[in-house]
Chains A and B, each alone.
Chain A
Amino acid sequence: LAKTTQPISMDSYEGQEVNITCSHNNIATNDYITWYQQFPSQGPRFIIQGYKTKVTNEVASLFIPADRKSSTLSLPRVSLSDTAVYYCLVAPNTGTASKLTFGTGTRLQVTL
């Protein structure tokens, strides 16, 4: 499974755009990039998934350059409730995939 590297922590003020970058230099051709969000005392929650270029949903955008060796999760206009740990994962999105492997994630702290 491809190893991912992301910042341990980030701080932001409410209303700002937050970009969290994840490196995955040895990503495989059939790997997808998936981001999860976790609040204290809760299980992780799926945010977004992509393979290449840009994916956007009601929560976030995911930017993936052509070489796919990194990706950036973009959270527009964060609020205090976006304070959480964000995990970047890389894994095949096929029936043969076994499980997702989580790293330590990026702890985002949003303040007023």
Chain B
Amino acid sequence: DTGVSQDPRHKITKRGQNVTFRCDPISEHNRLYWYRQTLGQGPEFLTYFQNEAQLEKSRLLSDRFSAERPKGSFSTLEIQRTEQGDSAMYLCASSLEQGRNYGYTFGSGTRLTVV
């Protein structure tokens, strides 16, 4: 286990379709985060989990978005009824909650294009 894996790397979908992304964090990391990044902007926080509990959701996360982390391992992010504005890079990160060395490890992201 050398890092955070995201699947797929690229996804093209038609407007109105549902899409699901998967993230496999570093195995010993108990925190998992989802971010969204559009061109020229920094990553924007969407939601995060500690183990299987979803502890915070951004207001950016409309009711069309849902995230899960069953059993505190991998996570999925689903977008229902996609819109063109959903086109972005979706990044997953994980971290180990501890007092110091507070560093996230990011995956390479899933680039979503809604046509």
Which residues of A does B touch, CB under 8 Å?
32, 34, 36, 41-46, 49, 85, 87, 91, 93-95, 97-105
Most buried by B among A34, A36, A42, A100: A100
A85 to B41, CA, bound (A): 10
CB distance from B73 to the nearest CB of A (A): 19
10 example contacts (A-B, Cβ-Cβ < 8 A) are as follows A41-B89, A41-B108, A42-B106, A43-B93, A91-B102, A93-B99, A95-B98, A97-B102, A100-B104, A105-B42
List B contacts of A87 (CB < 8 A). 42
A43 contacts which of B44, B101, B108 (Cβ < 8 Å)?
A: B108
A97 to B104, CA, bound (A): 12
Which residues of B does A touch, CB under 8 Å?
4, 33, 35, 40-45, 48, 55-56, 89, 91-93, 97-109, 111
**Are A102 and B44 in touch, CB under 8 angstroms?**
yes
**Are B97 and A95 in touch, CB under 8 angstroms?**
yes
**Are A46 and B97 in touch, CB under 8 angstroms?**
no
Given contacts A41-B111, A87-B42, 10 further A-B contacts (CB under 8 A): A32-B102, A41-B108, A44-B43, A46-B103, A46-B105, A93-B100, A94-B99, A99-B33, A100-B104, A104-B42
A103 to B37, CA, bound (A): 11
List A contacts of B109 (CB < 8 A). 41-43
List A contacts of B91 (CB < 8 A). 43-44
List B contacts of A49 (CB < 8 A). 101-103
Most buried by B among A42, A44, A95: A44
**Are A102 and B105 in touch, CB under 8 angstroms?**
no
**Are B45 and A101 in touch, CB under 8 angstroms?**
yes
A100 to B44, CA, bound (A): 9
